[in-house]
Structure 1
Amino acid sequence: MRVFLLLLSVLSLGLAGKVAIFLAPLSKSQIVFNLRLAEEIAVDHDVVLVRPSFNPNAESLVSSHPRVRELRPKGCNPSTFHAFYEAENAWVWTDPTFAEFGNITKFYRQMFYETCENMAGDEAFMEAMRKENIDLAIHHHLDSCTLGVVRALKIPQWGWVLSTPLFRSMINMVGVPALPSHIPSLLTDASNDMAFFKRVKNFAWELFCDLYLPLGSAPYTAIYREKYGEDFPTLSQIAREGSFLMVNSHADIEFPIPVTSKIVYIGGLGMKKETNQLKEPFASSVNQSTSTVVVSFGSVADTKHMPVHWKEAFIGLFKSNPSIRFIWKFDQAIDVPSNVLRVGWLPQNDLLGHEKVVAFITHGGYNSLGESISTGTPIVTVPLFGDQFRNAQLAEFRHFGVRVYKQDLSADNLNTALHKIMDDPSYLSSARLAQSIAFSSPLSTGLTIRHTINFTLAHPHYNRDLPQLGFFSLYSVDVIVFLFFLHLSLFSSL
């Protein structure tokens, strides 16, 4: 192992170059993930974070690494982001109607369209990027517009990074055929074992995604064609040329998915078994308890929009368990029982790693899911939106979590779910098993990331692609028809 690591180090020194990471800074969690990615790559290479302006609340999150720099081109208008933010938080606590979902989609697309127009038309930014002499670019899955920047600048190598679990349309995008029958969509509430109507819903959503991706990128293509001419390829065509897809999940914990070596699992980025010693007020709160439960719904869902009956449900849960200490991330003024520490921020990973923390009530975002895995903490999920429904299914599938549906949220249901994972030792055993599996690889996540970048730079034309087959060939429709008529002809000749 030491010889292998030494060879990796020598190889990286010979390949030191410059890597650009195109970041879509919608939320603090997205930025933290990409900063961790940048700092791992910066062990071997200089890194430029291309970070258009989006979320004003996350502007101060930056890297202190000496080999990580930022370029901040103009992104979307602040009013557009605010409209998206308000629309998002208006429905995350409820079940959105089709019209509400369409409304947030409209604001989402507007944000990225404005950013694309600003980046493509900003000659000062494009010239600054040319002067960087980028060797390899990494695109965040949220934003396909940056593919046009890379093509216009003739950056030789590039790949994708997913800060979410792996989903089918991204697998297809890098040339790996994947079936919706056993791969749950990112935005549907399904596992990999779906009954008929679940498969119908999953199939319909995936069909929509397959149609939407090329159509959704068409306005971005138009921006580049207006500037560079009609010969500029469509962004959906460029999208398939990526050399790799790094995905923020653990291969052995995720739902099993058939993939090729272009898919690289980097789950656990920035996570570690060791945690820091708690500071006040958290240290005394935890140490004075016999058992502590952490309650947090992440950085995206704004607690000022939480419905009254939700607040009452959590207060009811706290009052029903006076012997349990609760640490509640809730940044609005509210009266809480004496067994509750209410805070606007908490050191989540350090808290979850404390021996007295016995459970975690969470929205099920992927960073929170990863921290529960890395600390071996059983969870109660109350998924709100996005990939959180799927993540809740995964926690149940691996038996380290139970789920409360948000339409059924009540103090009684929360209490039942919490005591289910606390009173049944199999949930803790499964959480510890997931933790063991996550840290069982002989190569760290950082080494995996760096190997992916170094391999791509060292072997720019290495072919890891499957043959691109049409529908009839991929599903052997022609073979099935041929065999059917062959059988029919043989049978009729008897």
Structure 2
Amino acid sequence: MLSGHAFSSLLFISSLSYVCQSARILGIFPTPGRSHYILESTLMTALVEAGHDVTIVTPFYEDYQTNGTGTYRQIVLTGVAEQQKERRKAINLFQHSKVNPFLAIYIMNRVGLSQTESTLKHANFQRLIHSGEKFDAVIVGQFMNDALKAMAHHFGAHLILFSSVGTSTWVNHLVGNPSIPSYTPEMILSYPAKMTYFQRMKNTLVNFVYNINQHFIFYPKQSALLKKYLPNPIGLNEALFNVSLVLMNTHESIAFPTSTVPCMRQIGGFHVKEPKELPLDLRNFLDEAEEGVVYFSLGSNVNSNHLPLEKKLAIAEAFSDIKERVLWKFEDTSFAKNLPKNVKVSQWFPQQDILAHKNMKLFITHAGYASTIETVHRGVPIIAVPIFGDQSMNAVYAETKGFGKVLPWQDITKDTLVGMIREVIDNPKYKEAAKRKSALLRDREVHPLKSAVYWIEYVLKHNGAHHLRVASLDLTWYQYYLLDVYLPLFLGLYILWCLCKRVKSLIRRSEKVKVS
């Protein structure tokens, strides 16, 4: 018979063996953006290195060789990335950078429905759907693709969401996380946390319209896609509100602090890697920059060539007027021939490795979230030139937290750009703020990538971790907002007020009768 100590040891070893055993994990990440893919592939390859058998659905192919005991299978949504590349050439995002928030909701509906349907009907994905395979967990990249959440039920798996940003109206209601418009700015509005009265009013209105749109327009269309492309589909609501875990690419050092329910975990900075050695010509350019280096990139989704000519000329003139060397990620190679000698141009730079260089002084960026995290991690201040999406919100974060300034692209002139470059580089407060935020971002109990793997394995170990689910998910909308409580209370108070008024009226009338 086992002693108590031996029995406890046996239980401990058994639990370890369960955690360490290989799980079958499916990642569905249809967004055709390279910056998104970098995040998603980093997460999935970490699961491979932890010993799991991973299948990833994505528009991109990567020649990846596993170093762990797990396996890595890619199901490529062929043609999607190529189509997106052609659209990027055709669509001038600078002409659509300022969009009415209500129009933005309509645009997101269209983009989300198109992307979801193109994924569901893709031949490679359809083969997976009809393969009869089963998985232990399905991780879905969260972006207006709610029908894909039903894949967890289809494959008999626990549902995990990966959000490339932090908390948002898109994801909060799925796990019962409070999303109070009085202090939670909508991403498309880019307001500060401390909003003015009129900002709170507009924020509340946009939040209301968004929720109405989501439940009465967008979700029914997503549900129709389920019925069209899935054998034996479940109801969309059953798929939506069955989330075991939300991994969020955010951290308080960068974004505004917000409330989170227990199943939401911050892993911001998880994709940042140790810097690699730079190519020789680039390394020499950086090493020999006695006055430092300015790095300018508008990211992978914005075509810099679409900048109006007068803006490109203004930027070139500004760079010729500063003492620092400049790295400019720029697609227009013909324009690059006429640039000053202190400017080095390329269609691609190893961004993380550049930001880690000791001579890096400033990052002029579109303020994409991944880029913002990378620059904060390295303690490099920024000038934010937001174009679309969440970039304006990230720019607000940078300016509010003191590690950067915002320069709308419409306001770029030689003088405004030179003036802001000098302000951010020469005023030590921006560098100091960036270093403080870097220290906060790095100061974690465990590396965020290890944390992500841990929580995914935690969900598997505890069969979906239902104990993390909050009770608000079991309430109807009128119960959640206490309308069923407030309505009777107010009705009772109104009846009581009417009775009191009636009694007072009767008393006054009787007194008049007595006097007469």
Displacement of 1:80 in angstroms is 5.9
- Amino acid in structure 1 at the alignment position of 2:310: H
Does structure 2 conserve the Cα–Cα contact (< 8 Å) formed by 1:224 and 1:232? yes
3-state SS of the aligned residue for 1:380?
strand
- In the superposition, relative to structure 1, how do residues 191 and 386 fare at CA in structure 2: closer, same or farther (>3 Å)? same
- In the superposition, relative to structure 1, how do residues 408 and 12 fare at CA in structure 2: closer, same or farther (>3 Å)? farther
- In the superposition, relative to structure 1, how do residues 397 and 15 fare at CA in structure 2: closer, same or farther (>3 Å)? farther
User: TM-score, normalization: structure 1?
Assistant: 0.87
1:28 equivalent in structure 2: 34
1:390 maps to 2:393:
yes
Per-residue CA distance 1:223-244 (angstroms, 9 max, x = gap): 3324667x74332441111101
- Amino acid in structure 1 at the alignment position of 2:25: V
1:56 equivalent in structure 2: none
1:259 maps to 2:260:
yes
1:331 equivalent in structure 2: 331
Displacement of 1:39 in angstroms is 1.6
- In the superposition, relative to structure 1, how do residues 158 and 345 fare at CA in structure 2: closer, same or farther (>3 Å)? same
Separation in structure 2 between the aligned mates of residue 78 and residue 429 of structure 1, nearest angstrom: 40
Query: Superposed, which structure 2 residues align to 1:195-344 within 5 Å?
Result: 195-214=196-215, 215-226=217-228, 232-272=233-273, 274-289=274-289, 290-321=291-322, 323-333=323-333, 334=335, 335-344=338-347
Separation in structure 1 between the aligned mates of residue 79 and residue 181 of structure 2, nearest angstrom: 34
2:508 equivalent in structure 1: none
2:467 equivalent in structure 1: 463
- In the superposition, relative to structure 1, how do residues 269 and 89 fare at CA in structure 2: closer, same or farther (>3 Å)? farther
Displacement of 1:210 in angstroms is 1.8
- In the superposition, relative to structure 1, how do residues 196 and 454 fare at CA in structure 2: closer, same or farther (>3 Å)? same
Query: Superposed, which structure 2 residues align to 1:353-392 within 5 Å?
Result: 353-392=356-395
Structure 2 stretches of 5 or more lacking a match?
Answer: 1-11, 505-516
1:454 maps to 2:457:
yes
User: TM-score, normalization: structure 2?
Assistant: 0.83
- In the superposition, relative to structure 1, how do residues 62 and 178 fare at CA in structure 2: closer, same or farther (>3 Å)? farther
1:114 equivalent in structure 2: 118
3-state SS of the aligned residue for 1:442?
coil
1:406 equivalent in structure 2: 409
1:420 maps to 2:423:
yes
Displacement of 1:288 in angstroms is 1.8
Separation in structure 2 between the aligned mates of residue 440 and residue 448 of structure 1, nearest angstrom: 13
Per-residue CA distance 1:238-265 (angstroms, 9 max, x = gap): 1111101100011454211111111110
- In the superposition, relative to structure 1, how do residues 120 and 7 fare at CA in structure 2: closer, same or farther (>3 Å)? same
- Amino acid in structure 1 at the alignment position of 2:286: V
3-state SS of the aligned residue for 2:280?
coil
- Amino acid in structure 1 at the alignment position of 2:34: K
Decide which moves more: 35-44 or 212-221: 212-221
Per-residue CA distance 1:200-220 (angstroms, 9 max, x = gap): 332233223323334324334
Decide which moves more: 167-176 or 448-457: 167-176
Separation in structure 2 between the aligned mates of residue 169 and residue 429 of structure 1, nearest angstrom: 34
Separation in structure 1 between the aligned mates of residue 36 and residue 429 of structure 2, nearest angstrom: 32
1:172 equivalent in structure 2: 173
Displacement of 1:427 in angstroms is 1.1
- In the superposition, relative to structure 1, how do residues 75 and 241 fare at CA in structure 2: closer, same or farther (>3 Å)? farther
2:158 equivalent in structure 1: 157
1:186 equivalent in structure 2: 187
1:3 equivalent in structure 2: none
2:23 equivalent in structure 1: 17
Displacement of 1:404 in angstroms is 0.7
- In the superposition, relative to structure 1, how do residues 228 and 250 fare at CA in structure 2: closer, same or farther (>3 Å)? closer
- In the superposition, relative to structure 1, how do residues 97 and 80 fare at CA in structure 2: closer, same or farther (>3 Å)? farther
Does structure 1 conserve the Cα–Cα contact (< 8 Å) formed by 2:30 and 2:119? no
- Amino acid in structure 2 at the alignment position of 1:324: E
Does structure 2 conserve the Cα–Cα contact (< 8 Å) formed by 1:361 and 1:379? yes
1:438 equivalent in structure 2: 441
Displacement of 1:393 in angstroms is 0.8
What CA RMSD, in Å, does the superposition of the two structures yield over aligned residues? 3.1
Does structure 1 conserve the Cα–Cα contact (< 8 Å) formed by 2:48 and 2:54? no
Displacement of 1:185 in angstroms is 1.8
- In the superposition, relative to structure 1, how do residues 236 and 287 fare at CA in structure 2: closer, same or farther (>3 Å)? same
- Amino acid in structure 1 at the alignment position of 2:239: I
Structure 1 stretches of 5 or more lacking a match?
Answer: 1-5, 54-58
